[in-house]
Amino acid sequence: MNSALKVLYVDEQATPLEPLKLLLEMTADMQVEVASTLKEGMAMILDGQVDVVVYGCRIGDNACIEYLRKLRIEGHEIPVVMLSDAYNEKVKDEVLKLRNIAYMSRGDNPTKELILLTETIRGLLGRDLN
């Protein structure tokens, strides 16, 4: 049996982070920590206690791409799932150039989104689905 995946969910949006945290922990073998600022998220990554980062991002917010670039420039190869508020081909192409990153857009079906997010996290880490 695999130990729980340590997921960091970073999202500066006003959306409450706790519901997603609880859903991921209930439906998968994941331990989820949340950060409501990029600075807080970066500190948690530097602490080294994270297997994967789920990063909530608004389209048109260049800070999200710059954050991901900074991670890579500083040598952090931690897998990242960028969870965007809307699909944007240009942003997706830019993000995928940064290595070990998956791009998802939030949809109208939270259940389907949760399943896809769980599968994407496991895929990035090379973990089998339970």
Q: Write down the pLDDT at residue 128.
A: 58
Domain 5-125 -> CATH class: alpha beta
| pTM listed for this prediction | 0.82
Query: How far is 88 from 32, CA to CA, in rounded Å?
Result: 27
Query: How far is 35 from 30, CA to CA, in rounded Å?
Result: 16
Q: Write down the pLDDT at residue 59.
A: 58
| Cα–Cα distance list, 70 to 10, 64, 67, 74, 122 (Å) | 15, 10, 5, 6, 24
CA 96 to chain centre: 13
Q: Write down the pLDDT at residue 1.
A: 44
Residues of the chain with pLDDT under 70: 1-2, 14-18, 59-61, 127-130
Q: Write down the pLDDT at residue 8.
A: 92
